[in-house]
Structure 1
Amino acid sequence: MSEDDRKTAVIIEDDPDVRSLLDEVFRAAGFRTVLAGTGLEGVAAVAAHEPVITTLDINLPGIDGFEAARRIRAVSATFIIMLSALGEESDVVLGLTSGADEYLVKPFRPRELRARIEALLRRPRNAHPAGTGPAFGTEPAGTASPGAAPLAADGAGAAAPEPVAPESAGQPAPARNPSATAALPTIGSAGQWHAHRDISLDAVTHTVLVAQREVELTPTEFDLLATLLESKRRVRSKADLALVLRGEAFGSASYVGEPDKRAIEAHMANLRRKIGDSTAEPRYIETVRGVGYRLTAHTDGAPAPR
């Protein structure tokens, strides 16, 4: 297998020892790795190398990990694993709200990181975030690590995001094309659409529409919304949703701890904000106190989801 056929991971970490450990973990998992020591270098590396997974420290020279995550999310659908010594709940929530899919507190066990990587690889990934296009001539950023072992085939199978020009001077990400939603597909077009009220989701193209306007979600937010739409009025607990994000079936005997449940709460709050929902007067997703989440009932004359 050639190097071009391998999955790529970008490692954004300023500590050489931690960076080396992460490099070993990903290479053992069959990845080609790209190493970056600052936030700006990491954003540029993600844009240039189209990684499947990106690890991101928070305390970085220049822009911090939270800002780096926001900039990465503007140009890439890469899965982001945030690694930090900051373990307070507010830090975890901020990391997930910035666009991270996973948050691990240092020191972490390499085996746990490997398990999180494998869980992410079982999940589908958007081809590229809405509004991004083909790359225009830029040299790859970061340092590629040679000698990665070939990666065994897995079920991820999604195409890599199309890169855009890296932000080499700390400038904000380019504005999205305001006409990008002009040619959005309708629910009647080909795809695997799930709908509730005026929100619809296509599992094939990873498109989410609210009142026929496209909404950009992280891979984790998309998976949560897809699960609730598929479940309709059946309540899904935080443990259920955590299992979905791990790529495991409902009812699995796997342990789901309080940090996992708090992460679901943070992701759900961010999802609601993006789709314009409210916990006080929910239109799409309601909280069943002490149980979990489900779709709201149809009380406004809208057709019930099929």
Structure 2
Amino acid sequence: MEPGVAGDGSPDRRALVVEDDADIRSLIDLTLSAQGFVIRTAATGRDGLQLAREWEPDLITLDLGLPGIDGLEVCRRVREFSDAYLVVVSARQDEVDRLMALQTGADDFLVKPFSPRELQARVTAMFRRPRSAPTGQATDPAAAGGEPVVLGGIAVPDGHEVLRHGVVGIDVDGRRAFVDDAEVDLTRTEFDLLTHLMRTPARVWTREALLRTVWGNDWVGDSHLVEVHIGNLRRKLTQASGDKSIIHTVRGVGYRMSAA
């Protein structure tokens, strides 16, 4: 693999490792360097936050038991300004810690001791997620007639895919989501889930199908991740619209969009 090239061929992907244990910090550094990431490290939550702001990494690995500012608070603050993939790597094994990390904005959670190969596999799967459809596939009715598409009072650039369902509208290529023309701040994972649900609003997506489609075919994980991220997405849409039923749970099967 060429220096400075991540596992999928993208040049100069950046990874920030926030870990207070020097041995584990070095192990993660070596593991991600082998995938071609350019690495910077931090031993405290405060230093990690500063580097995340200044360096703008594509990936962050984060311990929860950090000195000073703990990992959950770091995760919460990072999500205020960064859309980086974020993997918590922690010795905490309780389900509540895992749920809190995912609800705060983490994309995944690995328990120490961890397999370096598993970390590499999960990171590879993250960066293989489809981010948008090819340009020129606008699905908004106004786009087909040549009229400018407006979301949040702003005209969407020509060629962007736009999806609408009831009060929800998304600019897929611009990665912006709106409810009643007010923009809603979604994480990468939440946006990807909403996009796939809205592209086929009548389809019921099983948790396993969403794992394969949003996380990637080689994803190593369990369907509980889907439940947590769907819960976060539903909460944000409800807060913005007052409607608790935008995403419908089909009991025992999965999820679909409610009738618009």
Q: TM-score, normalised by structure 2?
A: 0.83
Give secondary structure in 2 for the equivalent of 1:11. Answer: strand
Report the counterpart of residue 109 of structure 1 in structure 2: 115
Q: Which has the higher contact order (CA 8 A, sep 6+)?
A: 1
Where do 1:148-297 residues align within 5 Å? 184-186=153-155, 190-248=159-217, 260-276=222-238, 282-297=244-259
2:54 aligned with 1:48: yes
Q: Which residue identity lines up with residue 88 of structure 1 in the other structure? A: D
Report the counterpart of residue 301 of structure 1 in structure 2: none
Report the counterpart of residue 45 of structure 2 in structure 1: 39
Give secondary structure in 2 for the equivalent of 1:34. Answer: strand
Alpha-carbon shift at residue 48 of structure 1 (Å): 1.0
Report the counterpart of residue 65 of structure 1 in structure 2: 71
Q: Which residue identity lines up with residue 100 of structure 1 in the other structure? A: A
Alpha-carbon shift at residue 194 of structure 1 (Å): 1.1
User: Within 2, Cα distance between the matches of 1:184 and 1:48?
Assistant: 31
Alpha-carbon shift at residue 244 of structure 1 (Å): 2.1
Q: Of Structure 1 and Structure 2, which has the larger fraction of its residues in strand?
A: 2
Contact 1:239 1:256 in 2 (8 A): no
Report the counterpart of residue 154 of structure 1 in structure 2: none
Q: TM-score, normalised by structure 1?
A: 0.71
| Unmatched segments (≥5 aa) in structure 1 | 127-181, 249-253, 299-306
C-alpha deviations, 1:238-268, integer Å up to 9, x for none? 11111123223xxxxx6876xx221111111
Give secondary structure in 2 for the equivalent of 1:33. Answer: strand
What is the percent sequence identity of the aligned residues? 40
* Alignment root-mean-square deviation, CA: 2.6
C-alpha spacing 1:124/1:48, structure 2 compared with 1 (3 Å): farther
Alpha-carbon shift at residue 283 of structure 1 (Å): 3.1
Count of matched residue pairs: 235
User: Within 2, Cα distance between the matches of 1:256 and 1:190?
Assistant: 34
Contact 1:58 1:83 in 2 (8 A): yes
Alpha-carbon shift at residue 183 of structure 1 (Å): 6.6
Q: Of Structure 1 and Structure 2, which has the larger fraction of its residues in helix?
A: 2
Alpha-carbon shift at residue 23 of structure 1 (Å): 0.3
Give secondary structure in 2 for the equivalent of 1:74. Answer: coil
C-alpha spacing 1:256/1:18, structure 2 compared with 1 (3 Å): closer
| Unmatched segments (≥5 aa) in structure 2 | 6-10, 133-150
User: Within 2, Cα distance between the matches of 1:90 and 1:21?
Assistant: 26
